[in-house]
Amino acid sequence: MRQLSKSKIIAFRQCPKRLWLELHRPELRDDSGSEMVFAIGNQVGDVARQIYDTADDGRLIDVAEIGWDAAFSETAAWLSGTPAPLFEAAIRIEGALALADVMLPEAGDGGLRWHMLEVKSSTGVKDYHREDLAVQTYIATAAGIDLASASLAHVDNSFVYPGGGDYQGLLTAVDLTEEARSMAGDVANWISEAQEVAALTVEPEIETGPHCSAPFDCPFRHHCDQNMPSIEFPLGSLHRVGPKKRDELEALGYDDLREVPDEMLSPVNRMIKKQSVAGEAWFDAEGAATDLAPHTGTSYFLDCETIGFGVPIWKGTRPYQQLPFQFSLHIVSHDGEVEHREFLDLSGEDPGEAFAQALIDHCGTTGPVFVYNAGFENGVMRGLADRFPHLATGLLSIVDRVVDLLPIARNRYYHPSQHGSWSIKAVLPALCPELSYDVLDGVKDGHAAQRAFLEAMAPETAPKRKQKIERELLEYCKLDTLAMVRIWEVFSGQRDLV
C-alpha cells in the first residue's frame, strides 16, 4: 500500500483522476501561475513559527534536510516528551502521512498533550480547510498523538503591521476540534477509496466540469482538455453565469451558447448569443457618444498596478491590501495633443507616498480622469488617502473626477471575440486591432506585472534583470492607458470603428 500524503488525499477529494495523474503522470502537471500562491503560503508559514514560538525553544522538522525517516522518528521523539512547539511535524500511519504546520504543547494533569494548528494564508475558513484539518486530525490521532485540540489559523485581514518584524496578531485561530473529530469515519473512507484509485493501472475516465476549478484550479486541466471537442462559444462565454447555471444548461444538452433558447438567457446574454450567431460586433455609437459628451476638457487616462502581501512588509499596511507601485497616465489636451506620464518604484521601499504625490502632481485639477473599472482605481486612491492624510485632499479630488469607461463599454459595445468579457484586454483587440498586448515582451497582464514587481524588488535580482523588468512593466502599463485613449476616441466618435 502506498503512503498517501494529506495533499494527495485532498487531491483525491477534488477528483480521483487528479490523484491518479499526480501519482502516475506527474510530468503532465502545469503549475504556471500558482507560484505566487505558494510563495504567500510559505511566507505565512515562516511567520507562524515566529508567532507560535515566542520563547524561541521550538524546532522545525525540515524533511528536505534530514529525510523522511529521520523526520518521522524525530517528530515522534519530540512529541513524546518535549514540551515545546514543533513545526512541520511529520506523522504517518499505514497508508497516509501528513506534515502538521504547528504542534503546541499543552501540559496538564494527564501529561503532555498537543494543540495542532493548520496555518492557511486565506483570510477565513473555507470548506476545504475543514476537510484538510479532518484528515490531519485523523492521521495524528491514529498515530497515537494525544491531541487536546485542532485549529485552523488564518490571516486576520484587519491586522495592521506595526513594523519592526512584529507579526503578533497576524493570524487568528479557529477551534475546529469537534468538527474534525466527527469526520473521522469519512476520512477513513477517503483514504481507502484513494488507495483504490492509486492502485489503478489505467487513468480513470472522468470528464471535466466545475470540479476542475473548485476548490483549486487543477494543474492537469490542459491534459484533460486536449481530447475534448473544441467549442467555438462555450457556455463559459456567457456573462455572469455561474457553475450551477452552467451545469443546468449542460444537463439539458447545451454546450455552445448559441444553442441555448433565448428565454433561458438574461438580456445581456441574449445580445451575446445574437452577436455570436451573427459573427459581428454590436455598437451603439450614438449612446456611447452621449455617455461621454458631458466629460470635456483635458482628459486624463489612468491605470494603476498594485501588489497585495499576505504578510505585510510595509509599516501601516494590512494583509492583502492592494498597494500601488506603478501608474501610467496619458493626457489628451482639448486640441488633441497627447502626453504621457508614469511612475514606477522597484526599490523595495514603500512606494505609497511618492506614488500619491506623483499622481497629484500629474493629474492637474480639472478635466475627466478616465479609468477602466473605477472601483479599483478609486479604492487605490482612497487607500492612499487613509494612509497619507496630508495628501488626502489632492487624492480625493482626483477620485471626484473619475469617469469609468467600463460600464460604457459594457452597455454600448460587444464583439463575439470578447467571449463574454469586457476586460480591457478582451475589448481592445476587437475595437483597435492595431494595438495588441501580444507584441509586449514579458509582462502582458496584471498577474505577470505583480510577479515581475516581486522579482525586481528582491535583493538577489541582478541589476540587468531588474532593468529589463522595469522596461517591461513600463511598456505594459503604458499600453493599458493608450488602449483607454483609443477606446475613448472610438466611443466619442473621434475615431472610426474598423
Stretch that binds ligand SF4, among 203-211, 273-281, 319-327, 425-433 (CB under 6 A): 203-211
Q: Is residue 9 at the binding interface for ligand SF4, with CB under 6 A as the rule? A: no
Among 71, 89, 103, 218, binds ligand SF4 (CB under 6 A): 218
Q: Is residue 221 at the binding interface for ligand SF4, with CB under 6 A as the rule? A: yes
Handedness of CA 309, 311, 315, 318 (dihedral sign): positive
Nearer to ligand SF4 by Cβ, of 224 and 431: the residue is 224
User: In the window 19-48, what residues touch ligand SF4 (CB under 6 A)?
Assistant: 21
Please confirm whether the linkage preceding 215 is cis (ω < 30° from 0): yes
Could you give the CA distance from residue 427 to residue 386 in angstroms, rounded to a whole number?
33
Q: Is residue 208 at the binding interface for ligand SF4, with CB under 6 A as the rule? A: yes
Nearer to ligand SF4 by Cβ, of 207 and 438: the residue is 207
Q: Is residue 206 at the binding interface for ligand SF4, with CB under 6 A as the rule? A: yes
Nearer to ligand SF4 by Cβ, of 208 and 461: the residue is 208
Nearer to ligand SF4 by Cβ, of 17 and 49: the residue is 17
Stretch that binds ligand SF4, among 17-25, 378-386, 411-419, 444-452 (CB under 6 A): 17-25
Q: Is residue 12 at the binding interface for ligand SF4, with CB under 6 A as the rule? A: no
Nearest to 170 by CA among 314, 312, 349: 312
Q: Is residue 212 at the binding interface for ligand SF4, with CB under 6 A as the rule? A: yes
Q: Rounded to whole angstroms, what are the CA distances from 129 to 125, 176, 215, 295? A: 6, 10, 10, 49
Radius of gyration of the chain from its Cα atoms, rounded to whole angstroms: 27
Please, what is the minimum distance in Å from the beta carbon of residue 22 to ligand SF4?
9
Could you give the CA distance from residue 313 to residue 229 in angstroms, rounded to a whole number?
47
SS3 category, 197: helix
Q: Rounded to whole angstroms, what are the CA distances from 207 to 17, 26, 172, 490? A: 9, 19, 38, 43
Nearer to ligand SF4 by Cβ, of 14 and 450: the residue is 14
- Cα atoms found within 13 Å of the Cα of residue 443, Cβ hemisphere only: 25
Q: Is residue 473 at the binding interface for ligand SF4, with CB under 6 A as the rule? A: no
User: In the window 223-282, what residues touch ligand SF4 (CB under 6 A)?
Assistant: 224
Secondary structure of 358-404 in the HEC alphabet? HHHHHCCCCCCEEECCHHHHHHHHHHHHHHCHHHHHHHHHHHHCEEE
Among 220, 325, 355, 414, binds ligand SF4 (CB under 6 A): 220
Q: Which residues bind ligand SF4 (CB under 6 A)?
A: 14-15, 17-18, 21, 206, 208, 211-212, 218, 220-221, 224
